[in-house]
A and B are shown apart, each in its own frame.
Chain A
Amino acid sequence: MTVLADPALAADARRERRFFLSLSLPALFIVGLAAILPILWIIRQSFLTTGGEYTVGNYEKVLSSGLTWSALVTTLELSLGTLAICILLGTPLALALASARPRVANLLMAFVMLPLWTSILVRTYGWLVLLRRDGLINATLTGSGLTAEPLPLVYNFTGTLIGMVHYMLPLFLLPVYAAMRDIDANLVRASASMGATLGQTIRTVILPLSAGGIFSGSIIVFIYTIGFFITPAVLGGGKVNPLSTRIERTLSTFQDWGSASVLGILLLVLMALVGVMFLAARRLIAGRSIGTAHA
């Protein structure tokens, strides 16, 4: 920083900095009120009995229960499954959108964004209509003789996954599309002029340069899906129980705020762990791609 000799100028500079910092106060206030305070409250709750006395019993009870661990596994399966499908479907789609002509891309983008403007409840029940034993898809499949029996598409893991992917795909797509669209078209041309096939260009230029977008999209998908509640509750038919539905059941059936808080903290820890892992992986890949040209 520059040293200002004149104390009056230095004071002006300080005042300016304070002013710009003060612009963040309303946001900080709301985050504190709506996020940090409740978290602190949950942490406190997790150490209290229903009678209000201090205990670590809640932790012992929750962490020793097999239901908790199977819920944790289900949560991870749903999140990672959704993420994997989003990457497999979303990355090629983003590439197609980014290389389409602007008018076509805008039209396709509108289709992608349409689900985002619809309530999640409506969409989830919409899937129910489509995926049921006597729903549209099974009616078509059995009617055309492709399958003898209706396929079990809903009230199970598959149905939940379909609903979650449908919700997350646009949110995954946006950062990936933005990253790919920002790639200079001349880089792709340069790569081709030096002899690269389209596949080689995608592998050596487009994917490395959109890795940041793919990571952002992945983090968004993971953080959203780890706490997903409505979709597993409706499309899981009671058979798919991630941590979120366990929390709800613990509260609605047992009014056990202590155990529910412990489960909530478990979710938070999970999110933090995965976040750190993603960032570490990102740094690792970014460090490796510089200085290598694997074709």
Chain B
Amino acid sequence: MMKSLPITIDSVRKTYGSYVALDDVSLDIQAGEFLTLLGPSGSGKTTLLMALAGFVRPDSGKLLLDDRDITRLAPNKRDIGIVFQNYALFPHMNVLANVEYPLVLRKTPKAEARQRALDTLVRVKLEGLAERNIAALSGGQRQRVALARAIVFEPRVMLMDEPLSALDKNLRETMQYEIRRLHDDLGITTIYVTHDQREALIMSDRIAVMNSGRIQQIDTPQRIYDRPSTRFVAEFMGEANIVAPGSARRIDGADASREALMIRAECFHLDAKLVGPDGVALEGTLRAKAFRGENWLLTLALDGGQEILVCIPAALASGCAELAAGQRVTAYAPAAKVHAIPGVVA
């Protein structure tokens, strides 16, 4: 296992004219951590990654690798492995030459460079393809070459910029597990950029959700999903219903929260017995229903006029097929799945 290092991002700011790409972003990443920067396009996640790589110069702020200031260090002196969105493989070199490239630059003896490159190709399951040309590889294979090239020189930090966005769904899921396994084997500090919230949930130790150049929330995947700290995070992470305090009542009749409540669509039940007495009930008129295979999606119009999404797993949805639009439906959610977003009034 190689020695990995912690990273400190200290109030980094970057503007392009009047556009603020990074608005005083601060973030501590622990040694060996897998941290995902998650956000929509234009949220600043790639800018932050490129600043760490050295291709974007911050207007102000500091970047520390361990306790060494790398803010003004040239990219080629940072010893950071990068996997680019479009892989950025050298088309005029074959697979082996691409993977050997960082070692050749480091004047590694020829035989050793070859051996390490071949070993790394085995690690990413590309044995036997060393002599292939890049043009003759599939998207998934290119992805693996890019990974091999980024880890072969044992960098202390790895940056990945939406590395899976060009792959089809099945391959993407396989690669998610493989990248995470590779990270666990190597123990290398990894910063991963994606706009896919599922990918972030599956892969990360922690997720930093970004929007408009700011970090909205940094937390474990579970807390980000269940306990979002802002409305943006709640809605970005999944099918979130944010309902006004008056629309929900406690099943046991106690006083309900005075703040807006966030309830994920899949946390509802149609049977009050499945929810404890401290849970909440929302009553409304069925507007639409859709069968999605593993679940039913119901659209309810609450009495205040607000529409909520209710997702019932197919196994528990025996009555859903018979429901008709216009019918009164009550949806129940257990207390543990009802989250009051601080400071948000729906």
The interface of chain A, by Cβ under 8 A from chain B, is 184, 186-187, 189-197, 200, 204-205, 208-209, 289-295
Tell me which residues across on chain B come within 8 A of A186, comparing CB atoms.
84-86, 88
> Among A184, A193, A196, which residue has the most Cβ atoms of chain B within 10 A?
A193
A195 to B78 Cα, complex, angstroms:
8
The interface of chain B, by Cβ under 8 A from chain A, is 53-55, 74-82, 84-86, 88-94, 96-98, 100-102, 104-106, 131, 133, 149, 153
Does B75 lie within 8 Å of A193, measured CB to CB?
yes
Tell me which residues across on chain B come within 8 A of A289, comparing CB atoms.
92-93
Does B53 lie within 8 Å of A189, measured CB to CB?
yes
Tell me which residues across on chain B come within 8 A of A194, comparing CB atoms.
76, 81, 101-102, 105, 149, 153
Tell me which residues across on chain A come within 8 A of B105, comparing CB atoms.
194-196, 200, 295
Does A195 lie within 8 Å of B91, measured CB to CB?
no
Closest Cβ–Cβ distance, residue A285 to chain B (whole Å): 10
Does A190 lie within 8 Å of B97, measured CB to CB?
no
The tally of CB-CB contacts under 8 A between chains A and B is: 82
Given contacts A189-B53, A192-B75, contact A295 B91 (CB under 8 A): no
Tell me which residues across on chain B come within 8 A of A193, comparing CB atoms.
53-54, 75-76, 78, 80-82
A293 to B95 Cα, complex, angstroms:
11
Does A293 lie within 8 Å of B82, measured CB to CB?
no
Does B93 lie within 8 Å of A184, measured CB to CB?
no
Residue of B nearest to A208 (CB): B92
Closest Cβ–Cβ distance, residue B16 to chain A (whole Å): 12
A204 to B96 Cα, complex, angstroms:
15
Closest Cβ–Cβ distance, residue B135 to chain A (whole Å): 10
Tell me which residues across on chain A come within 8 A of B101, comparing CB atoms.
191, 194, 204, 293, 295
A208 to B101 Cα, complex, angstroms:
14
- Contacts A184-B86, A293-B90 known; 6 new A-B pairs at CB < 8 A: A193-B53, A193-B78, A194-B102, A194-B153, A293-B98, A295-B105
Residue of A nearest to B102 (CB): A194
Does B84 lie within 8 Å of A190, measured CB to CB?
yes
Does B88 lie within 8 Å of A190, measured CB to CB?
yes
Closest Cβ–Cβ distance, residue B189 to chain A (whole Å): 15
Given contacts A184-B88, A195-B105, A293-B104, contact A190 B82 (CB under 8 A): yes
Residue of A nearest to B133 (CB): A290
Residue of A nearest to B130 (CB): A291
Residue of A nearest to B91 (CB): A209
Tell me which residues across on chain B come within 8 A of A294, comparing CB atoms.
104
> B97 contacts which of A187, A192, A292 (Cβ < 8 Å)?
A292
Residue of B nearest to A189 (CB): B55
A291 to B92 Cα, complex, angstroms:
8
Tell me which residues across on chain A come within 8 A of B86, comparing CB atoms.
184, 186
